[in-house]
Amino acid sequence: MPVLNSDIARSLEKLADLIELEGGNPFRIRAYRNAARIVGELPRNVLAMTEAGENLAELPGIGKDLADKIETLAETGHIAVLDEMERKTPPGLLALLDLPGLGPKRVRALYDRLGIRSLSELAAAAKSGKVRDLPGFGEKTEKRILQEAEKRSAMTPRIKRPVAEDVAEPLLKYLRAGNRVEQAAIAGSYRRRRETVGDLDIVVAGAKGRDIIERFVAYEDVRQILAQGPTRSSVVLRNGMQVDLRVVSPATYGAALMYFTGSKAHNIALRGIAAGRGLKLNEYGLFDGTHRIAARTEEEVYRAFGLPYIEPELREDHGEIEAARHGRLPHLVTLADMRGDLHAHTTESDGRASARDMAQAARDRGYSYLAISDHSKRVTVAHGLDAARLARQIDEIARLNETLTGFTVLRSVEVDILDDGRLDLPDDILARLDFVVGAIHSAFDLPRDKQTSRLLKAMDNPHLSVLAHPTGRLIEERRGCDFDVERVLAGARERGVALEVNGQPDRLDLNEWHCKLAKEMGVKLALSTDAHSTAELGFMRYAVDQARRGWLEPGDIVNTRDLAGLRRLLRR
């Protein structure tokens, strides 16, 4: 079976969790977490790297011992130390580690004090009020744990985009390599670029359905075959993800791809239009009685409705059909439109590359500029910069720019917004920067009116140009701050502040609804990666996906401009 980089990273993270659960060496825990992050960011498969003779021990932060473990994981999918620790750990505790708000220390406390070793036992203890009395928990934490435990018990597991891609793209490549396959695409929420993905739906056009199905179920990552027929099959992969395959004729591929891409609401709306005209739309095409009007391509089907092609990211029945009918579909932003990245970290705070290395990597991506936006001092866990250290960095960036041609490193900082709305650094140092990124990293649970006032006051500071990851949410882990979104957007518009669409797959903040509302209100937006390494500069594509789902066009986004245009837009 192929061992993916995401598999290796997951194993290293699990090993770190189990060591922490056991109360092990914190340096060892940190080393495994760091290795997991590095492997997850690698642009190539680890096994391919080792087979090409590359030495993993030369990667930053990876010594020989870790390199040997990673190589063993790549070759076998197992390492002895993890297997042994999993055998010693009650299985239910592993599930508790995945629960938002419960780290290894809290899970250990629940196990030691209350004997809790499963999700159901945790929910029962929280309901009976036993959790709140444990040191470090309390009533609010107990309530939150109960809500998360009940939600997790009821929900269908979903995974984030990078992990879904790591699984889906090799499978799609494998299918396309088959002799009988003419066209193939992954449909469903994956194609619509939703924030998380459940099952995978794959549509294949080919003449020999049985041969294609047999190749599909023979894929080496398949753990279980749920169904197998002449034109359709369902399997479960090693990571637990279900994949449904449908084989259709090339003559109906477009209609099938449209149907299985969805969304359900978008399909229902189109079927309603068809029914109103005495026609029928299904996965086999658009029909007038038994006569098939259109089916070969999606463009052909939309054209038969008198509509232009509607991009998959828009197909949510959020007004896209009406916009298409009246010629008002947005010209969606693409990755090629981006001229630079406005939020990146270096080794000066919690990044893993120097400013020079980050700049070179950004330049290699075809950018004209990159903003270095390291954390300010309030974020102590990230080794944030005080005024003196930031002043030194400003001078260093000036010297770096003297060595660059056709590329500019912008001087910025991700300054913490304090609980009362003040910024974490004095105005005299902020005035020396090209622009300032502001962000919330604490007090996420302030009441709605106080959180709103906090953000508005922060934007009152004339140096603040970009509000980073505005809600502070972490997908599947932490809800965003509760504030009056319309008041904050109106405040940003009045003050000339841009709101960030953060491309970190854990964040994707702003969400699609907020993006669309910001556009409608005339608020400027910035697409950024919040990169902590050169590889994470690639997260720009996730920011672009999010922007496209929010109907954003190049003109809505400040960093689609050249440097002179960017400076004009960020000027308060």
Tens digits of residue pLDDT in 351-401: 999 999 999 999 999 999 999 999 999 988 778 999 999 999 999 999 999
Q: Look up the CATH superfamily of 263-329.
A: DNA polymerase, thumb domain (3.30.210.10)
Is the pLDDT reported for residue 155 higher than 60?
A: no
Residue 80, C-beta contacts closer than 8 angstroms, at least 6 positions apart: none
**Using CB atoms within 10 A of its CB, is residue 484 exposed (0-12), middle (13-18) or buried (19+)?**
middle
Residue percentage of the chain with pLDDT more than 70: 97
Mind listing the pLDDT tens digit for each residue in 272-290?
999 999 999 999 999 999 9
Report pLDDT for 104. 83
Report pLDDT for 87. 78
Higher pLDDT, 138 or 405: 405
Report pLDDT for 91. 65
Helix/strand/coil for 409: strand
Higher pLDDT, 259 or 116: 259
Q: Please give the Cα distance from 464 to 498 (Å, whole number).
A: 9
CATH, domain 5-154, list 3.90.550.10, 1.10.390.10, 3.90.650.10, 1.10.150.110:
1.10.150.110
Is the pLDDT reported for residue 326 higher than 70?
A: yes
Distance between alpha carbon 208 and the CA centroid of its chain, in Å? Answer: 37
Q: Which residue, 305, 221, 215, is CA-closest to 255? A: 305
Put residue 499 in one of left, alpha, beta given phi > 0 → left and psi -120 to 50 → alpha. Answer: beta
Q: Which residues pair with 149 in a beta bridge?
A: none
Q: Please give the Cα distance from 253 to 47 (Å, whole number).
A: 35
Report pLDDT for 156. 59
Q: Which residues pair with 369 in a beta bridge?
A: 340, 408
* Token pair 């189990």: residue: 18
The pLDDT-based confidence of 106 (bands split at 50, 70, 90) is confident
* CATH level 2 (architecture), domain 335-570: Alpha-Beta Barrel (3.20)
Domain ranges of the chain: 5-154, 156-248, 263-329, 335-570
CB burial string 166-205: b at 16+ within 10 A, e below: bbbeebbebbeebebbeebbbbbbbbbbbbbbbebbbbbb
Is the pLDDT reported for residue 4 higher than 60?
A: yes
Is the pLDDT reported for residue 93 higher than 80?
A: no
The pLDDT-based confidence of 2 (bands split at 50, 70, 90) is low
Beta strand pairing call for 232-237 and 222-228: antiparallel
Cis preceding-peptide flag for 263 (omega within 30 of 0): yes
- What mean pLDDT do residues 310-330 have? 96
Q: What is the pTM for the complete model shown?
A: 0.81
Q: Please give the Cα distance from 561 to 481 (Å, whole number).
A: 30
The total of other beta-carbon atoms located within 10 Å of residue 331's CB is 10
Mind listing the pLDDT tens digit for each residue in 174-218?
999 988 899 999 999 999 999 999 899 999 999 888 999 999 999
- What mean pLDDT do residues 25-41 have? 86
- Residue 394: C-alpha distances to residues 431, 456, 503, 564 (Å): 11, 27, 25, 20
The pLDDT-based confidence of 89 (bands split at 50, 70, 90) is confident
Higher pLDDT, 414 or 60: 414
Higher pLDDT, 91 or 261: 261
Is the pLDDT reported for residue 349 higher than 60?
A: yes
The pLDDT-based confidence of 1 (bands split at 50, 70, 90) is low
Report pLDDT for 59. 83
- What mean pLDDT do residues 467-474 have? 95
Cis preceding-peptide flag for 510 (omega within 30 of 0): yes
Is the pLDDT reported for residue 253 higher than 90?
A: yes
- Residue 389: C-alpha distances to residues 349, 424, 425, 539 (Å): 10, 14, 11, 28
Report pLDDT for 368. 97
Tell me, what DSSP letter sits at residue 382? G
Helix axes 5-21, 64-76, angle to 10 degrees: 120
Kind plus residue range of the DSSP H or E element containing 226: strand 222-228
CATH, domain 156-248, list 3.30.460.10, 3.40.50.1100, 3.20.20.20, 3.20.20.100:
3.30.460.10
Is the pLDDT reported for residue 154 higher than 70?
A: no
Report pLDDT for 408. 98
- What mean pLDDT do residues 36-60 have? 84
CB burial string 376-386: b at 16+ within 10 A, e below: bbbbeebebbe
Tell me, what DSSP letter sits at residue 357? H
